[in-house]
């Protein structure tokens, strides 16, 4: 059984992302030099592009996750089907 918990490193990373995003949200002009470094005119543009990239990545991850869930469900349904192969005796016993 695989229990996946968030690692301390990931936790710290998300906290940092939260702090940085909130900081730039309240003080957008501080993001301008950073945006200039990446070739964007405004900090907001950089933020939008980063946000878009993050969303695309999130959708991709979700797709993979849903696919994995689908596969697991199929495996489960298959196992159930094979274990419960239909036997005439069982049906007749139920009917009695």
The binder of other proteins chosen from 17, 58, 69, 77 (CB under 8 A): 77
- The pair of structure tokens assigned to 80 is 């159930």
Tokens found for residue 35: 């945006």
Minimum distance from CB of 93 to other proteins (Å)?
A: 14
User: Do 46 and 35 contact (CB within 8 A), yes or no?
Assistant: yes
Q: Which of 6, 39, 82, 93 binds other proteins (CB under 8 A)?
A: 82
- Footprint (CB under 8 A) of other proteins, residues 1-60: none
Q: Which region among 18-26, 30-38, 40-48, 68-76 touches other proteins (by CB under 8 A)?
A: 68-76
Backbone dihedral region for residue 86 (phi beyond 0: left; psi -120 to 50: alpha; all else: beta): beta
């Amino acid at each position: 059984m695989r229990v996946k918990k968030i690692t301390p490193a990931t936790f710290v990373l998300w906290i940092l992302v939260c702090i940085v995003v909130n900081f730039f949200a309240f003080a957008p002009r501080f993001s301008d030099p950073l945006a200039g470094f990446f070739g964007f005119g405004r900090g907001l543009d950089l933020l939008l592009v980063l946000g878009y990239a993050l969303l695309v990545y999130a959708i991709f991850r979700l797709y993979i996750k849903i696919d994995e869930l689908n596969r697991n469900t199929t495996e489960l349904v298959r196992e159930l089907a094979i274990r419960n192969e239909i036997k005439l005796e069982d049906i007749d016993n139920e009917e009695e």
